[in-house]
Structure 1
């Protein structure tokens, strides 16, 4: 998810289109990696111009395609496995390979924006996906599959972070990111449904699905390029130099901030949970819950549908009660639902728990992007959000691969404890962010120059005080 922050520069106290120049720098507190309080800025609105509307709708369409690509892969996994007669571990390489693409996107995102701007992302994203998908329709020998999927991962990675950073710096970012990631969830809902229907009801081979995706990605190229044509490299450099005193903020500088790494690790775990569930639910339902193949395919559809609805609906709730408190509550509910999904051996109950699990997982990614924009200086946003989002996107490969590798010897039941462990890990990462659980905590963290981990340390001290009072 590479960051194209070309959405905004500051001109006369207002953030304008990326083609216009002028931005106020933010100072950063050296030890904590947090910025000092910036001057109040009026963020741009998604519908303030025809260009913005066109860009926002094109970005949403791009996220629908990303969702269809990621979601369908899990639904097709059992059929790829049987087509090539390979093991869980070997077939899991289809998840690991895109991780390399996402990692490259994370490292190259800043350079792509510096030399090509958002226009470059609009061209490279769809083209890389097409380069990856066109060979799939010829169903090449299996060793070629992970190689071509690397291109899909890179294309998704640079677009993912680009449009996240752009939308994340607008007014009402929680709601808008809810729609953006809801579009991903929509794609991930219909992708498995279409792929499953094509294979189980239409009698088509697994690779037939990619004929459809090639056509849809071709359309994305014709939508995104005109939308971001004016957001070229010179526009990006002009904005960046204005906000950083004429010097380019490098990825190395941004990576010195602990906030960047916390958000990146949070997203790595979150995306790992999302895609591990989406990728292995069908196999789990077939092999463990003994469901009918078509009904098993519907179960993953319920998960992605819950994710989509949660992102849109809870996006209007999260910002009103505060990101730190809201995401903490969503994660605790997700842990409870994951336990129920694991421990209740009933197909109908499992399908219900999976749908609600998706609902409460939905807002996590948008909230993390909003947290990064509130905790980091504006000139860090392109590189930091881009790195965190693309690095987090690697979770879509790393953890599903781990599930498959372990499942080869232990059975696909390992999905459940692995997902539970990751949920607890990202809950800890979220608590480590500055700001506490109070409303407006992220903004006050900037004002107070709070350090990473302050909230956890204060909570431990409070508990020790209570325990000491009881024993005394």
Structure 2
């Protein structure tokens, strides 16, 4: 049962990644079909992100009431319906409405699955699952491109992804009995590489009136905010930096940024194996240091080829941070409030990826895109500082409880 449900969760993570890049891939044609300005895509993106943030914030209460299985099923159904709505949408206002539903569905299922895996499976699965999200995000544009190459049929691309999502929703419906069985079978034994939760910590967290009152939660949320802000900002503005500052051709710059995403995806796959030898906290710290060194390489006035090494190092360094921080949530703050805290963490993560790239764009437009590596270095440094302060707090708490 445990293996069967894990396979379903892996499929769910691929499914999570499929819709994310569709809007960007199809927008050049969608813009012409609807006759709207270019910046409308940004508004749709913000609408999806807003729905995701809202559903993540409230996911704890919803999941605690209805259970992970049911929430995952209904969220998948919402996502599939929203994508089908994109297929039928007669005007841009309908796209806005379906974008809200798409965001609400994505945020709830993301928080639900991450917390379930953190509580019931070992650390390497969390890294591999997020690597499989990258597989879905890679194949989403590939599927869309196949239809757009024939009469710019972007609607057929959305229809295909929608049918895939409906199929997954059907699988999730039939798997509902498995979720409680696996959860009941699994105790708090996360894995040998995760630092144990002390009894005193669990009692302290249970007594807390609100999850946000638990010491260290806000520091953790701060680290998530800057992690996702860095990940999205590098992906969005990396090419512009290479073209305008390093004077590379646009095609070469785009290829170099693809190495960044490749380092991120491959790094997460490899992290799954490294978790057998290193703890989550050590992987988080190591990844942050590698990413910081890579960002410094982008900042220094060195030959352009060094920038390629810098982008790969940033991507490779970022790879273990997000899944390991997610998997540490029950160990850091106790199992009682882990679902609610997971929702908060996902909400601030989406906030970072939604607002920090536009903030960098605003600063760059009023100064120069040369500010890009400075912004990235400072953001990674703040993330590292927040994470280390949290580790100090957790060590003090563990010492007191022992």
| TM-score (norm. length: structure 1) | 0.68
- Give the distance between the partners of 1:419 and 1:144, measured in 2 at CA: 36
Tell me the SS of whatever aligns to 2:20.
Answer: helix
The Cα offsets for residues 331-363 of structure 1, whole Å up to 9 and x where unpaired, read as 122123234346679887655543442222111
Does structure 1 residue 374 correspond to structure 2 residue 328? no
Indicate how the Cα distance of structure 1 residues 154 and 389 shifts in structure 2: closer, same or farther if over 3 A, else same: same
Residue from 99, 104, 108 that aligns with 2:49 = 99
> Within 5 Å, which residues of 2 pair with 1:110-129?
110-129=60-79
Indicate how the Cα distance of structure 1 residues 340 and 215 shifts in structure 2: closer, same or farther if over 3 A, else same: farther
In structure 1, runs of 5+ residues without a counterpart are 1-50, 437-441, 451-472
Determine the structure 2 residue equivalent to 1:426.
Answer: 383
Determine the structure 2 residue equivalent to 1:178.
Answer: 127
| Contact preservation (8 Å) 1:103, 1:391 | yes
Does structure 1 residue 447 correspond to structure 2 residue 373? no
Indicate how the Cα distance of structure 1 residues 330 and 446 shifts in structure 2: closer, same or farther if over 3 A, else same: same
Indicate how the Cα distance of structure 1 residues 209 and 422 shifts in structure 2: closer, same or farther if over 3 A, else same: farther
Which shows bigger deviation, 124-133 or 274-283?
274-283
Does structure 1 residue 291 correspond to structure 2 residue 250? yes
Does structure 1 residue 86 correspond to structure 2 residue 45? no
RMSD: 3.8
Which shows bigger deviation, 106-115 or 278-287?
278-287
Deviation for aligned residue 1:300: 5.3
Determine the structure 2 residue equivalent to 1:470.
Answer: none
Does structure 1 residue 262 correspond to structure 2 residue 219? yes
Deviation for aligned residue 1:94: 3.4
Does structure 1 residue 70 correspond to structure 2 residue 29? no
- Give the distance between the partners of 1:179 and 1:252, measured in 2 at CA: 35
Determine the structure 2 residue equivalent to 1:167.
Answer: 117
Indicate how the Cα distance of structure 1 residues 405 and 346 shifts in structure 2: closer, same or farther if over 3 A, else same: same
- Give the distance between the partners of 2:309 and 2:392, measured in 1 at CA: 34
Indicate how the Cα distance of structure 1 residues 392 and 351 shifts in structure 2: closer, same or farther if over 3 A, else same: same
| Contact preservation (8 Å) 1:126, 1:221 | yes
Indicate how the Cα distance of structure 1 residues 321 and 188 shifts in structure 2: closer, same or farther if over 3 A, else same: same
Query: What is the number of residues matched between the two proteins?
Result: 379
Which shows bigger deviation, 263-272 or 299-308?
299-308
Indicate how the Cα distance of structure 1 residues 413 and 401 shifts in structure 2: closer, same or farther if over 3 A, else same: same
Indicate how the Cα distance of structure 1 residues 373 and 343 shifts in structure 2: closer, same or farther if over 3 A, else same: same
Deviation for aligned residue 1:153: 2.1
Indicate how the Cα distance of structure 1 residues 161 and 213 shifts in structure 2: closer, same or farther if over 3 A, else same: same
In structure 2, runs of 5+ residues without a counterpart are 188-198
- Give the distance between the partners of 1:258 and 1:409, measured in 2 at CA: 39
Indicate how the Cα distance of structure 1 residues 315 and 113 shifts in structure 2: closer, same or farther if over 3 A, else same: same
Which shows bigger deviation, 182-191 or 137-146?
137-146
- Give the distance between the partners of 1:346 and 1:143, measured in 2 at CA: 47
Indicate how the Cα distance of structure 1 residues 428 and 77 shifts in structure 2: closer, same or farther if over 3 A, else same: farther
Greater share of helix: 2
Deviation for aligned residue 1:175: 0.8
Determine the structure 2 residue equivalent to 1:272.
Answer: 229
- Give the distance between the partners of 2:296 and 2:57, measured in 1 at CA: 36
Which shows bigger deviation, 412-421 or 116-125?
412-421
Does structure 1 residue 225 correspond to structure 2 residue 173? yes
Determine the structure 1 residue equivalent to 2:163.
Answer: 215
